[in-house]
């Protein structure tokens, strides 16, 4: 029987992780770079509840911040900046040369720009009436 696409719009986190593992295995085989690792930080309140997080990865000299969120009650108090600075510092410690992030115009592109990220691309109408902004922070090469 020939496999056919099956509608599944609710993949579990385990299924998504399995796809990520297979993609990483392929990418590692093609590039010879097997240094991929998760990269993330969490903020918790006094009760231990998560009030913010920054999550992504580093691999092959780059890093991508895939998600960053701060609970609405804690926004505007420097927590997003603290998460971003911790993420970038860890990426740099790992020898990353570039950190990439996407942010909608109604999220935090200004925060990223204030911390040295540069707009690399803008996609109008993603979603309608808004812009999806791709930003990158590049670190200078070590002169050894």
Q: 65 is in which domain, residue-wise? A: 36-138
Of the candidates 108, 16, 99, the residue with the CA atom closest to the CA atom of residue 62: 99
**Does 143 have pLDDT greater than 60?**
no
pLDDT at 141 (0 to 100): 79
pLDDT digit string, tens, across residues 10-52:
999 999 999 999 999 999 999 999 999 999 999 999 999 999 9
CB 137 within 8 A of CB 115: yes
Q: Are 87 and 65 in contact (CB under 8 A)?
A: yes
Pairing of strands 98-104, 62-70: parallel
Distances (CA, A) of 73 to 33, 80, 82, 111: 41, 12, 16, 18
DSSP letters for 91-126? HHHTT-SEEEEEEETTSSHHHHHHTT-EEEEEEETS
Residue 68 and residue 42 in contact, taking contact as beta carbons nearer than 8 Å: no
CATH number at residue 44: 3.40.630.30
Structurally, how many domains does the chain consist of?
1
Tell me if 86 is assigned to some domain: yes
Domain annotation covers residue 68:
yes
Does any domain span residue 87? yes
pLDDT reported for residue 34: 95
- 99: in domain: yes
Look at residue 131 and give its three-state secondary structure: strand
pLDDT digits (tens, 9 = 90+) for 84-109: 999 999 999 999 999 999 999 999 99
């Amino acid at each position: 029987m020939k496999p056919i696409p099956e509608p599944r719009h609710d993949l579990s986190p385990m299924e998504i992780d399995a796809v990520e593992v297979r993609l990483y295995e392929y990418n590692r085989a093609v590039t010879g770079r097997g240094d991929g690792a998760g990269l993330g930080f969490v903020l918790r309140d006094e009760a231990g509840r998560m009030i913010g997080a920054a999550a992504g990865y580093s691999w092959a000299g780059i890093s991508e911040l895939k998600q960053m969120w701060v609970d609405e009650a804690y926004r505007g108090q420097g927590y997003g900046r603290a998460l971003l600075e911790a993420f970038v510092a860890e990426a740099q410690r790992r020898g990353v040369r570039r950190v990439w992030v996407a942010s909608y115009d109604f999220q935090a592109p200004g925060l990223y720009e204030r911390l040295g990220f540069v707009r690399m691309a803008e996609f109008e109408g993603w979603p309608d009436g808004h812009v999806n902004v791709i930003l990158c922070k590049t670190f200078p090469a070590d002169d050894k």
